Structure 1
Amino acid sequence: MNEILFFGSNKFPKLIKNEPDKITKPIQFKFENENENENENENENENENENEKQIKQISSGSYSTIFLFENGKAIEYLSERISKQNPEKIQIENIQKVTVGYQNEAILTKEGNVFAKGRHINPKNPKKFIDISSLIEDTNDRIIQDIVSSAYSIYLLTSNQNVYGIGSNLSNQLGFNSKTLNETQKPILMMKNVSKIFSGSSSNHVFLLNSNQELFVYGNNEYGQLGLVESRRNNNLKINKLTKIQNIPKGKIIDIQCGFAYSIMLIEDGNQNQIQYQIQNQNQNQNPKRKLYSCGYSGYNGLGKNEDTYEFTEIKSSLFENDDNILDISCGNAFIL
């Protein structure tokens, strides 16, 4: 049984029971398997029930939270604003990954299929999951390797290393002029030769990394969250053409997390030869040093910054002094972990 800690706005009273609307300190709660009370023969079903409760992944947005279990099944909690009902089982088997945006959800199966729902995905029935991977025109590109949700769009990385986008394009986050294409219910090819996709559940921008550690972007740059200095200074607030970021800090990009108006980047410091040497000698406690960089609205990604930054700038804070072993990063609409 996994232990879960929760704090923040309690929009899911069916999940976080007997607690106030705003939880200011982390609390521990147990995930209650809905079949737990129905099992009269505990010995016979003990192993099966335990597998049901082993959580592999949690993905949460403003209106829903999905729990994915080790056995490939998932359940969904909806915000009380949307539903008063108890959590429901998602009727999809062999789930590999789940991702939740502001107004969408997507599920990747072990077979490489993607099912999604949302107002911008399936306007006629936004509460119904549909197979969006089968809508890709190139039939050779329908096996999906990874999925990422942004606020109103979903990105698919195929086994051929191509990226497709589907959903809203109001901030050009699908790579088109929003005046001609506001949204699409079919996946649109955005870029080829991609190794990783980076976006966020509250963001309207996306980063695409290729195998050569070159970084490309689409979407909203109103606050400089894309790290494009000249674009922001020239008041080009929406990027609808594949644009390469030229001023990436030296080192290997480990992760990028996107909030509504900012982005943070985790980089292993040094040149590629140094990084490779360090990786080969990790058993000798010579781990690569990692640094944090950020760009965008200072009110959200402050950490000592007093003004907005239009290029990725190192986050310098007493919190990180003498600590170069940052393992993971995460951010929401307006906070960083």
Structure 2
Amino acid sequence: MNEIIFFGWNQYPILIKNKPDEITKPIQFKFENENENENENENKNEKQIKQIVTGGFATIFLFENGKAIEYLNENDSYQNPEKIQIEENIQKKNPKEFINISSLIEDTNDRIIQDIVSGYQSIYLLTSNQNAYGIGLNQYDQLGFDSETLEKTKKPILMMKNVSKILSGNYSSCVFLLNSNQELFGCGYNVYGQIGLGESRKEIKIQKLTQIQNIPKGKIIDIQCGYFHSIMLIENENENGKRKLYSCGNYLYNGLGKNKNTYEFTEIKSSLFEENDNFIDFSVGDEHNLILTSKGKVIGFGNNLYGQLGTEDTNYQSIPIQIELPKLRFNEEISNYHISCGDNRSFLYYSPPPFSNLEEDLIKLI
């Protein structure tokens, strides 16, 4: 069950064979590796994809058995993908590539990692005690501290307590922290107003975690950020769990789903968003976005220079448009499908529960 739908810049000729550099029409391919048939009795779940993470420099396929295969976009990695086995003793095998980040937290009682979120050049950790830590580059104050005194850090620094969610994006130099009272705070790169503080707050950098006012009513499910914009998914319990999308930032590459700049989170509207349909999953790339609905529709908008919207052309899409996909192979719940957007490519893949337990405090530093 390793079939995946792909469209965009084809940087993976070893995976997607005999296809052009730009794949503007969604195609389906099967993930294969040379060891797949070594053991015919191998449990099929061990080959099942759990997650696809794609950013600007790499795409990682994570499997249920804990194996991750990474395809880099540099040097000769097209021909020689780097294979990574996530194990408890991985530091002994390759200490230059892996580090146990949780062991760097000074408070020994706060070293159980509940979630890891990646920004463009920063990593954020959420511990079981609901404390948020930041590590990496702080060029745009994305760690919540003055970058003139703290340019970067190799050790996790405490950003905020009582945090329920950390929200950012692969191309984002800003971050959002949501506390248990559903109060939202943000800091970092804000030159395009992508933190959503309003038209009067368009500083290049928001140094300290600042509460964001005028948040639409409802429960914040997720926020994902591109380079120019941010998109928020909100669920309204008073409307039988109906979900709505809101965006803010600069419309330069049409990532807002509207034709004007918006400096507060405002609703994205479209005739494609049916009243009896709902949003299951969404993903924000550098400048494009994809949405998956409960009726199995995939809707996209934004930059399409490499065909990453799958519209069979390379035209920008300023407003949401439905993507025609190959017929889905699996007769399963649509909630088991997921979307992952990179800078100029997109994946739609199937990943059913339950997920396996991995060592979540092991992370590759890129």
Q: Report the TM range for the smaller structure's normalisation.
A: 0.7 to 0.9
Aligned to 2:28: 28
SS at match of 1:133: helix
* Aligned mate of 2:159, from 190, 203, 219: 190
Among the aligned pairs, what percent are the same residue? 73
Partner Cα distance (1:225, 1:137) in 2: 32
Partner Cα distance (2:224, 2:187) in 1: 15
Correspondence 1:257-276 to 2 at 5 A? 257-269=224-236, 274=238
Partner Cα distance (1:289, 1:93) in 2: 40
* Aligned mate of 1:243, from 182, 185, 210: 210
Partner Cα distance (2:142, 2:95) in 1: 20
Aligned to 1:223: 192
Aligned to 2:99: 130
Aligned to 1:331: 284
Partner Cα distance (1:127, 1:323) in 2: 51
* Aligned mate of 1:139, from 104, 108, 115: 108
Give the CA deviation at 1:302.
Answer: 5.1
Kindly provide the CA deviation profile for residues 36-87 of structure 1, in whole angstroms up to 9, marking residues without a partner as x.
Answer: 35x3xxxxx2232634421111111122111111112222111144624422
Aligned to 2:312: none
Aligned to 2:69: 75
Aligned to 2:13: 13
Correspondence 1:42-57 to 2 at 5 A? 45-48=39-42, 50-57=44-51
> Which residue identity lines up with residue 287 of structure 2 in the other structure?
A
Give the CA deviation at 1:294.
Answer: 0.6
Q: Are the equivalent residues in 2 in contact too, given 1:294–1:301 (CA < 8 A)? A: no
Change (3 A) 1:36 1:326: closer
SS at match of 1:93: coil
Kindly provide the CA deviation profile for residues 235-283 of structure 1, in whole angstroms up to 9, marking residues without a partner as x.
Answer: 422111111011101111111111111111111236xxx37xxxxxxxx
Give the CA deviation at 1:147.
Answer: 0.5
> Which residue identity lines up with residue 28 of structure 1 in the other structure?
Q
Change (3 A) 1:223 1:308: same
Give the CA deviation at 1:6.
Answer: 0.6
> Which residue identity lines up with residue 198 of structure 1 in the other structure?
L
* Aligned mate of 2:56, from 30, 53, 62: 62
Aligned to 1:118: none
Bigger relative CO (Cα 8 Å, ≥ 6 apart): 2
SS at match of 2:103: helix
SS at match of 1:292: strand
Partner Cα distance (2:76, 2:143) in 1: 27
Q: Are the equivalent residues in 2 in contact too, given 1:203–1:258 (CA < 8 A)? A: yes
* Residue 161 (str. 1) matches residue 130 (str. 2): yes
Partner Cα distance (1:204, 1:316) in 2: 27
Runs of 4+ residues deviating >4 angstroms:
301-304
SS at match of 1:208: strand
Give the CA deviation at 1:13.
Answer: 2.4
Change (3 A) 1:65 1:176: same
Q: CA RMSD in A?
A: 2.4
Change (3 A) 1:303 1:203: closer
Q: Are the equivalent residues in 2 in contact too, given 1:33–1:53 (CA < 8 A)? A: no
Kindly provide the CA deviation profile for residues 132-174 of structure 1, in whole angstroms up to 9, marking residues without a partner as x.
Answer: 2111111111110111111101111101111111111111111
SS at match of 2:287: coil
Partner Cα distance (1:302, 1:153) in 2: 22
Correspondence 1:73-112 to 2 at 5 A? 73-81=67-75, 83-93=77-87
Partner Cα distance (2:256, 2:77) in 1: 37
Structure with the largest fraction of helix: 1
Give unmatched runs, 5+ long, in structure 2. Answer: 291-366
Kindly provide the CA deviation profile for residues 211-258 of structure 1, in whole angstroms up to 9, marking residues without a partner as x.
Answer: 1111011111110100001xx525422111111011101111111111
Aligned residues: 288
Change (3 A) 1:126 1:14: farther
